[in-house]
């Protein structure tokens, strides 16, 4: 497309970047129930109680950057005679650098946990999860004495955040100078209130965003054709009201306009 600029002609270059990471879900790994009686963490990934292979796609264009990946663990404890049921979840290897969850419970019922991985927290795991390859999650359960029966073990992950403040949580950025249009679908896995903000890339806390919003009933928020003029690009930020929820980018589309 050509436009007049003084007496000359300037060509406008238009590109579209699309990214649909969605939610990756192990679903319930326990087909019935499992009685946990071992009194120490098993050694070796071959001895894990459960395992699941998940692949979170990486952006196809270097201008798109994933900055945060959140995970959510759900376990149902049917009964417990032990003083404590312990659970650890690892990614690819059974060592401290690859440990995603380290939890313990003392009562029966539905248990939930959420965690954010990024360059400043669980960085080794974050670098794995964002590379677009398949990664294996290993689940280990043990008790201090007695036994415990579980009937649900499920993990999901997405490009997003489990944090309750979306301001500091840049989860996805696009680098661009010029006009930019965004359409996106932000989704909540959980029960809280989803919040999101579209801002200038790297904007400080308290600066005005291009668009903000929240929804508390369906856990889905979509916005389209939000157009802004940016110097560095834009950031999608999201969070929620419950720390065990995963608020994530289901999919997004960016239309970039610049002068050639």
Task: Identify the domain containing residue 43 by its residue range.
Answer: 24-62+69-158
Q: Are residues 145 and 46 in the same domain?
A: yes
Q: Are residues 38 and 152 in the same domain?
A: yes
DSSP lists the bridge partners of residue 247 as 161, 188
CA of residue 44 relative to chain centroid, distance: 27
| Domain final residue, candidates 158, 186, 218 | 158
- pLDDT for 231: 87
Q: Are residues 109 and 137 in the same domain?
A: yes
| Domain final residue, candidates 126, 158, 190 | 158
Is 64 within 8 Å of 19 (Cβ atoms)?
yes
Q: Are residues 164 and 238 in the same domain?
A: yes
- Token digits for 68? 């945060």
Exposure b/e, 29-49, CB count within 10 A at least 16 = b? bbeeebebeeeeeeeeeeebb
Q: Is residue 55 part of a domain?
A: yes
- pLDDT for 90: 99
- pLDDT for 225: 67
Per-residue pLDDT of the chain (260 residues; tens, 9 = 90+): 445 555 556 678 899 999 999 999 999 999 999 999 999 999 999 999 999 999 999 999 999 999 999 999 999 999 999 999 999 999 999 999 999 999 999 999 999 999 999 999 999 999 999 999 999 999 999 999 999 999 999 999 999 999 998 766 899 999 999 998 888 899 999 999 888 888 888 877 656 667 666 554 456 666 666 888 888 889 999 889 999 999 999 999 999 998 76
CA distance 44 to 232: 46
Q: Is residue 1 part of a domain?
A: no
Which stretches does DSSP call E strand in the chain? 2-5, 8-19, 23-25, 34-36, 50-55, 64-66, 69-80, 85-91, 99-105, 109-117, 134-143, 148-158, 160-161, 170-175, 178-189, 194-200, 211-215, 220-230, 233-240, 246-259
- pLDDT for 49: 98
Q: Is residue 136 part of a domain?
A: yes
Q: Are residues 44 and 75 in the same domain?
A: yes
Total domains present in the chain: 2
Q: Are residues 183 and 239 in the same domain?
A: yes
Burial class (CB in 10 A: 0-12, 13-18, 19+), 260: exposed
CB within 8 Å of 174: residues ≥ 6 apart = 17, 63, 64, 65, 180, 201, 233, 234, 254, 256
| Domain final residue, candidates 143, 158, 173 | 158
Q: In terms of pTM, does the model score above 0.75?
A: yes
CATH number (domain holding residue 209) = 2.60.120
Q: Is residue 3 part of a domain?
A: no
Separation in Å, CA 179 to CA 14, 52, 255 = 10, 42, 8
Q: Are residues 174 and 255 in the same domain?
A: yes
The Cβ-side half-sphere exposure at 115, using a 13 Å CA radius, reads: 19
Of 176, 157, 116, 132, nearest in space to 249 by CA: 157
């Amino acid at each position: 497309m050509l436009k007049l600029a003084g007496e000359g002609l300037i060509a406008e270059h238009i590109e579209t970047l699309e990214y649909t990471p969605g939610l990756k879900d192990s679903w319930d790994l326990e087909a019935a129930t499992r009685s946990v009686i071992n009194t120490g963490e098993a050694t070796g990934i071959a001895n894990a109680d459960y395992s699941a292979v998940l692949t979170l796609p990486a952006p196809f264009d270097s201008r798109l950057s994933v900055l945060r990946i959140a995970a959510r663990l759900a376990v149902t404890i049917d009964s417990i005679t032990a003083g404590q049921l312990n659970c650890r979840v690892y990614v690819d290897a059974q060592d401290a650098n690859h440990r995603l969850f380290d939890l313990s419970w003392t009562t029966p019922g539905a248990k939930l946990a959420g965690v954010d991985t990024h360059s400043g927290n669980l960085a080794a795991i974050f670098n794995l999860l964002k590379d677009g390859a398949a990664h294996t999650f290993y689940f280990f359960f043990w008790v201090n004495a007695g036994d415990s029966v579980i009937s649900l073990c499920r993990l999901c992950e997405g490009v997003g955040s489990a944090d309750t403040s979306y301001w500091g949580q840049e989860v996805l950025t696009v680098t661009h100078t010029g006009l930019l249009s965004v359409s996106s679908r932000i989704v909540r896995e959980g029960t809280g209130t989803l919040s999101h903000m579209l801002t200038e890339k790297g904007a400080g806390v308290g600066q005005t965003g291009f668009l903000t919003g929240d929804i508390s009933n369906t856990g889905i928020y979509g916005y389209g054709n939000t157009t802004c003029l940016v110097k560095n690009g834009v950031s999608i930020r999201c969070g929620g009201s419950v720390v065990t929820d995963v608020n994530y980018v289901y999919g997004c589309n960016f239309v970039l306009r610049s002068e050639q």
